[in-house]
Amino acid sequence: MRQVVWLVIAVLAGCGAYQRGEGLDVATVPPALHADYELFARRCSRCHSLSRPLNARITADEHWAEYVSRMRRMPGSGISPDDVPALLRFLTWYSAARRAPDGGAGGAR
């Protein structure tokens, strides 16, 4: 009996953990930044979920620049120096939008 109870709990927990994807709702990103966001979503989700950068309390642009180069230098990051400007364009917009009074870019998962 105890086994069955635990099995049910495990299955329910598993279902709860299932998400339909991660990241932002693209509709909240300005069309001019869609390509930058796509690159960010691809390059920054290789080693951790996108919620790590999206929920980080990083606001200063120089700080993001340091962070992106720190991630870029990690082994197998797949982030080339040419990718950096586009990644920073998105992150700068995102952290400004987050700080805006209406909360800006929504739907971070």
Residue 97 contact among another protein, ligand HEC, none, beta carbon within 5 to 8 Å by kind:
none
Residue 88: which of another protein, ligand HEC, none does it interact with, CB under 5 to 8 A by kind? none
Least Cβ distance, residue 72 to ligand HEC (angstroms): 7
Which of 8, 11, 25, 52 binds another protein (CB under 8 A)? It is 52
SS (HEC) of the chain: CHHHHHHHHHHHHHHHHCCCCCCCCHHHCCHHHHHHHHHHHHHCCCCCCCHHHHHCCCCCHHHHHHHHHHHHCCCCCCCCHHHHHHHHHHHHHHHHHHHCCCCCCCCCC
Q: Is 77 among the residues that bind another protein (CB under 8 A)?
A: yes
Binding residues for another protein, rule: CB under 8 A, are 3, 6, 10, 21, 42, 46-49, 52, 56-58, 60, 62-63, 66-67, 69-70, 72-78, 80-83
